[in-house]
Chains A and B, each alone.
Chain A
Amino acid sequence: MKYSPDHYILLDWGWGQLNATLLFTWVIMLMMAGGSWLVTRHLNSSTTISNWQNLLEVLVQGMVDHIEEITHRSAHHFLPMVGTLFLFILVSNILSIVPFFQPPTGSLSTTTAFALLVFVAVPAYGLTTRTLKNYLGEYIKPTILMLPFNILAEISRTFALAVRLYGNVMSGTVIGMVLLIITPLFVPVIMQILGLLTGVIQAYIFALLALVYIASAMEEESQPIKEEQHDRN
């Protein structure tokens, strides 16, 4: 039994392999970008809008509200990173119920890539509001003895981020496959529904944790959200 879509090799160039993870990632990317383009090419600003536009507006506005609620900052800088993480994981996890679809989030490589992105994004965002010295100074607080622990915490939370998502999605897929073998009727359906719920929750958790890490890194010299909005306007 193959637990990860990485194991489904479609093409092998020697220096790299085209596996199901990459293929379905492109599929998801195509769907998301294509779907967005289809909906947003005829956008209108009136009070009468299409259902698809309404759905996207609810989605985007919901993410913006959530981001601003958690960070107390404008969502302008966070939305592309956190929003894309959430949407990609969400779509990937939802599509896991489609037969023969291998969710890229069920690949440790994908979740590792995302975790690494968060790992890099945290200091990157943090340095936009803080100096390097100030940022690095956080690792030796309250004493320099905490430095290894802080570094370990940083690495472990990145590792946890990757493994949590991978474990949940992979386990859901594996359980589904096992149940299909054991009890092919009804029970897999229930487990798939539970898998959907878990997938949505995991997408939310991953994005939320990433946001919290980033926000906490920027916290030192945080600006009130209203001032930022005012500046932006």
Chain B
Amino acid sequence: MSVDWFTVAAQVINFFILVWLLKKFLYKPILTAMNTRQEKVHQELAQAADQAKLAKEEKIKYIALQEEAREQGQEQLRQSRKDAEVLRKKLFHQIQTEVEIAHVRWQNELAQEKTLFVQQASAQIAEQFQALATHVFHDLADESLEERIMTRFCSMITNNNTNQKKFSQLQNSDELQVFSAFPLSNRSQEMISKVLWQRITTHPHIHFQQEPNLIAGILVSSNNHKLEWNIHHYLADFQAELEKVLAKDIH
């Protein structure tokens, strides 16, 4: 156990050399690297904090935008519903109007058809009735319909109460036109002339003429005044009844 002072001195020098070497190759590089890393980590943490802050702000912005978009969507939905309601009402009104127009047109067409049908039915019925009546009168009373009509017409002329006004209008005529639906015999013409001259004291000239449009009747005319008997008013009553029945059936 002895100390070699040369070795001691050498070891002191060696130690200083080792300190220098380690300082250069170990402590300084390692501490520098660790400090640099620490700074980097701090910087990254600061950046991360900034980014987190930014992300938070972006999130708030995004939520606000989302809310705004939702409100806009709801507003658009409300507006769309409103527009749809307006359009629906407009279309409904339009359709209603079109339906009403179609209904009116249909009713008009129906009324026209009805009128036409009634007219045609009346004409046919009148025609059939005339034939039937002629036949019946001939079979039952051995008398023609024309004669019966003429008799009825003559009795109407002779009846003072019912035709006074019309006769007064015919009173001043020079000529009278007698229209009949059927040809009148001479005897019938004489009979009519006779009864007319009894009432019209001026004894006007009388012309006889056949008019097929008259339905089973006789008409006396002068200066736009006329006196007639035919089955037209019977047919009018029948037509009115028929229209009433048809209207009831349609409704």
Which residues in A have some Cβ–Cβ distance to B below 8 Å?
3-4, 6, 15-17, 19, 21-22, 25-26, 29, 32-33, 36-37, 40, 43-47, 53, 56-57, 60-61, 64, 79-81, 83-85, 87-88, 104, 107-110, 112-114, 116-117
Q: Are the C-beta atoms of B25 and A84 separated by less than 8 Å? A: no
5 sample A-B contacts, Cβ–Cβ < 8 Å, listed by A number: A25-B10, A36-B26, A37-B25, A40-B25, A108-B3
By the criterion CB–CB under 8 Å, are B11 and A3 in contact? no
Residue of A nearest to B37 (CB): A45
Q: In the docked arrangement, what's the CA distance between A81 and B36, Å?
A: 24
| B19, B25, B29, B34: the one within 8 Å of A80 (CB) | B19
Closest B residue to A22 using CB positions = B10
Please indicate the chain B residues that have their CB under 8 angstroms from the CB of A83 in the complex: 22, 27
* B23 interface residue per 8 A CB criterion: yes
Residues of A within 8 A of B21 (CB): 29, 32-33, 36
Q: Are A81 and B19 in contact (CB under 8 A)?
A: yes
Given contacts A45-B40, A104-B11, A110-B11, whether A80 and B33 have CB atoms under 8 Å apart is no
Contacts between the two chains (Cβ within 8 Å), count = 120
Cβ B18 vs Cβ A32 within 8 A: yes
Q: Are A33 and B19 in contact (CB under 8 A)?
A: no
Contacts of A4 in B (CB 8 A): 1-2
Chain B contacts for A104, CB-based, 8 A: 11
Known: A56-B30, A61-B34, A83-B22. A108 touches B14 (CB 8 A): no
Decide yes or no whether B31 CB sits under 8 A from chain A.
yes
Residues of B within 8 A of A (CB): 1-12, 14-15, 17-19, 21-23, 25-27, 29-34, 36-37, 40-41
A26 to B12 Cα, complex, angstroms: 12
Q: In the complex, A56→B31 CA distance in Å?
A: 10
Q: Is the CB of B27 within 8 A of A107?
A: no
**In the bound complex, how far is the Cα of B14 from the Cα of A15, in angstroms?**
18
> How far is the CB of A165 from the nearest CB of chain B, in Å?
13
> Which DSSP category, helix, strand, loop or mixed, fits chain B's interface?
helix
Cβ contact within 8 Å between A33 and B15: no
**Selected contact of B14 from candidates A22, A46, A112, CB within 8 Å:** A22
New A-B pairs, 4, CB < 8 Å, besides A113-B12, A116-B12: A26-B14, A46-B37, A108-B1, A110-B7
Residue of B15, B17, B33 near A53 (CB, 8 A) is: B33
Residues of A within 8 A of B2 (CB): 4, 6, 108
Q: A33-B22, A46-B37, A113-B11 are in contact. Are A19 and B4 (CB under 8 A)?
A: yes
Q: 6 smallest A-B Cβ distances: which pairs?
A: A113-B11, A109-B7, A40-B29, A45-B36, A33-B21, A36-B25
Q: B4 CB to closest chain A CB, in angstroms?
A: 5
Residue of B8, B12, B19 with most partner-chain A CB within 10 A: B8
- Cβ of A60 and Cβ of B4 under 8 Å apart? no
Are A32 and B11 in contact (CB-based, < 8 A)?
no
For B4, the chain A residues whose CB sits under 8 A away are: 6, 17, 19, 21, 107, 109
- Is B34 touching A114 in the complex (CB atoms < 8 A)? no
In the complex, what distance in Å separates the CA atom of A33 from the CA atom of B27?
A: 11
Minimum CB–CB distance from B195 to chain A (whole Å) comes to 142
Please name all residues of chain B whose beta carbon is closer than 8 Å to the beta carbon of A79 when the two chains form the complex: 27
Closest to B31 in A: A60
Interchain CA distance A4-B32 in the complex, whole Å: 39
Chain B residues with CB below 8 A from A46, complex form = 37, 40
Given the complex, which residues of A lie within 8 Å of B41, measured CB to CB? 47
Contact A114 B30 (CB under 8 A): no
- Given the interface contacts A29-B17, A57-B33, A114-B15, does A80 sit within 8 Å of B22 by beta carbon? yes
Residues of B within 8 Å of A61, CB to CB, are: 34
Shortest beta-carbon distance from B239 to chain A in Å: 113
Q: Least Cβ distance of A160 to chain B in Å?
A: 15
Asked if A29 contacts B12 (CB within 8 A), the reply is no
| Residues of A close to B18: CB separation below 8 A | 29, 32-33, 84, 88
Given contacts A25-B11, A109-B11, A117-B15, contact A3 B1 (CB under 8 A): yes
**Which residues of the other chain, A, contact B26 by a CB distance below 8 angstroms?**
32, 36, 40, 56, 60
Whether A40 and B30, one on each chain, are in contact in the complex, defined by CB atoms closer than 8 angstroms, is yes
